A and B are shown apart, each in its own frame.
Chain A
Amino acid sequence: MNDSMDPKQSVLGGKSKDLSFETSEGDQEMGMFESTSTDELGLEYGSTLRLSEGIELDPNDMNFEISPDEKMIINMGPQHPSTHGVLRLMIELDGEIILRTKPVVGYLHTGMEKTAEGLTYLQGSTNVTRMDYLSPLHNELVFSLAAEQLIGIEVPDRASWIRMLMCELNRCSSHLMWMATNGMDLGSTSMMLYGFREREMILAFFEKVTGLRMNHNYIRPGGVSADLPDGWQDDVIAILETIPGRLDEYDELLTGQPIFRERVNGVGIITDSQAIALGATGPILRSTGVPWDLRRDMPYLHYEQVEFDVIVGSIGDVFDRYSVRFNEIRESLRIIAQVVEKMPEGDYRVQDKKVTPPPRMRIDESMEALIHHFKIFTEGYKVPEGEVYVAVESPRGELGCYMVSDGSAKPYRMHIRGPSFVNLQTLPVMLRGGAIADAIASISSVDPVMGEVDR
């Protein structure tokens, strides 16, 4: 882009700026206060340009009194253990107090949206499942729902209920994983072990059903890849009987514990109007008291047929986000119990010859079935031209998929609206004015999954 940035010149020149060039992200980094425009400063100071009173904030009115030599810009990450992957935050500090924050992302970018344009609809779910690796089934679900809406097929009832069962279990495992890492971030190492132990139960069930612990490629356009194994009810009931008791233990371990409460109460506050202006969804939005849950407000699958409560917080601090996630595990278990009861008999994938390969038995006896099978897995199936946006409630918020088809067997454009990516923008607001030690609690409470942020 810029001639002076040519890597060869800079290296061969052997100048002292070589090292800073090698690690630099250039303009993507946080600049010095003096050389930053007021709009950008407002952004980094976390003013969302829309105060609760409805007054527009003029960045020129902001009062910056600290002299330049008392401030320091530090890097947190990309390798800091508490940044949940490769998140890099550049933080401007006045002593212990955070003034400005800028997330620098992209360290995990692998061009998955470009990759998706080269994969058929059948292969596509293998790609998307790797984005948010803590809730792979939600990624597959949103991709499949978008493809199905373009093709115009309706999946059988049982497939939808299986999808609900798996997604709610996935929400539990994702939130349990969050409880574990959050415990570790805040110094409660025992929570780390317990969280992983419970998550393991759910992953073992996933392995039994899908063959894999993560990145299942289980939910596919047209249904799911295999029926639930015999005796699945026993496994699910074992989960339903074990986890609530364990949750009560966590309640004792964390919720009522003074040291934990000291770390989370009143830390990283975000208001409802700020959360909406910043597009935050999921537990972050709900922790501010906005009862918005796509499962209830824009139901997909069969969520309108099950009973559950939308958990909301009150002031939007780290503790509220903790309680929202914690109680969502209980609500998910409630949904799972109803799904086990209501699970209908029937087919687990749509019997539309266009998208569903013939059964294995037929391939042995019929040449046409073999050709059909071969064509679906090599060429894929053609999807009518059109564009569609589908959103589901993932454990982190609104997970959307915008898909454009040109009538061929591969998506013309596949865009995933990752909740982590958008939620990350709430960090400057949460961190502003807090101590650097509290930053860990706030980052953890946003629950970003960097695979989804960078895609």
Chain B
Amino acid sequence: MNEAEVLHVSRAEYLSTVSDLKSRGFAMCVDVTAVDYLTHPGRKLPEGITAERYEVVVGLLSLEERRRVRIRVQVPDEDPTIDTLFYLYPTSEALEREVYDLFGITFNNHPDMTRIVLPQEWEGHPLRKDYQVGAVPVQFKAVNGAE
């Protein structure tokens, strides 16, 4: 099995790096996801990379070279935003909406930054580590006349 090459880039270089990779033959964006490292005991990062709470992980695939590359971007807690890949890879539209929905990371310039799997009025972002399972009552909508 081919092991993917892992690249760590900063938020500022993120878009240019991906666009560079795209011109080098990485035609397909396979996956956009994120990890909340709030309670993680510590991970190995290369020198020069400051660990932040969130990490956006993007998987690119080159069909010609049969190669994968994985991009990891640190996103701080105080400003959870990052540029969208939509204008490079339209496929990232739904994937980025999912990350926004479940982690609360906003993607700049995304055409339709709304929740995708949870209802519009849901509070909180469930895949964050400080979102406790079972601590929040299930938000069913009230029925007419009830109460």
Chain A residues within 8 Å of B, Cβ to Cβ: 1-2, 5-8, 11-12, 18-19, 21-22, 24-28, 37, 39-40, 42-43, 48-50, 105-106, 109, 111, 113-114, 118, 145, 149, 276-280, 290, 292, 297-300, 385, 387, 389-391, 398, 400, 402, 404, 406-407, 412-413, 415, 417, 421-422, 424-425, 454-455
Does B91 contact A279, Cβ atoms closer than 8 Å? yes
Contacts of A109 in B (CB 8 A): 117-118
Does B1 contact A28, Cβ atoms closer than 8 Å? no
Contacts of A49 in B (CB 8 A): 86-87, 90
Does A26 contact B30, Cβ atoms closer than 8 Å? no
Does B94 contact A424, Cβ atoms closer than 8 Å? yes
- Helix, strand, loop or mixed for chain B's interface? loop
- Helix, strand, loop or mixed for chain A's interface? mixed
Q: With the chains together, A297 CA to B67 CA distance in Å?
A: 10
Q: With the chains together, A338 CA to B6 CA distance in Å?
A: 36
Contacts of A407 in B (CB 8 A): 41
| Listed residue (B30, B91, B114) with the most chain A CB atoms within 10 angstroms of its CB | B91
Contacts of B57 in A (CB 8 A): 387, 402
Does B94 contact A421, Cβ atoms closer than 8 Å? yes
Does B1 contact A298, Cβ atoms closer than 8 Å? yes
B85 to chain A, nearest CB (A): 11
Does A39 contact B70, Cβ atoms closer than 8 Å? no
Residue of A nearest to B4 (CB): A389
Contacts of A12 in B (CB 8 A): 147
20 pairs from A and B in contact (CB 8 Å cutoff) = A7-B141, A19-B144, A22-B141, A27-B114, A40-B111, A49-B87, A149-B1, A277-B89, A279-B29, A279-B89, A389-B4, A390-B1, A400-B30, A400-B59, A404-B40, A412-B40, A413-B127, A417-B59, A421-B94, A421-B98
Q: Does B16 contact A (CB under 8 A)?
A: no
- Point out the residue from A19, A118, A387, A454 that lies within 8 Å of B117, measured CB to CB: A454
How many A-B pairs fall under 8 Å by CB?
Answer: 148
**Given A26-B119, A40-B112, A279-B92, 13 more pairs with CB closer than 8 A:** A22-B143, A26-B120, A43-B112, A114-B133, A277-B91, A279-B29, A385-B41, A389-B4, A400-B59, A406-B40, A421-B94, A422-B91, A422-B94
Chain B residues within 8 Å of A, Cβ to Cβ: 1-2, 4, 27-31, 33, 35-36, 39-41, 43-44, 57, 59, 63, 66, 68, 70, 86-87, 89-95, 98, 102, 111-112, 114-121, 123, 126-127, 133, 139, 141-144, 146-147
Does A113 contact B102, Cβ atoms closer than 8 Å? yes
Does B70 contact A276, Cβ atoms closer than 8 Å? no
Q: With the chains together, A130 CA to B93 CA distance in Å?
A: 25
The verdict on A48 contacting B90 (CB below 8 Å), with A8-B142, A400-B30 known, is: yes
The verdict on A415 contacting B33 (CB below 8 Å), with A26-B114, A40-B112, A406-B40 known, is: yes
A84 to chain B, nearest CB (A): 17
Contacts of B70 in A (CB 8 A): 389
Does A413 contact B68, Cβ atoms closer than 8 Å? no
Does B59 contact A422, Cβ atoms closer than 8 Å? no
Does B35 contact A413, Cβ atoms closer than 8 Å? yes
Contacts of A280 in B (CB 8 A): 91
Contacts of B111 in A (CB 8 A): 37, 39-40, 42-43
Does B102 contact A279, Cβ atoms closer than 8 Å? no
Contacts of A18 in B (CB 8 A): 144
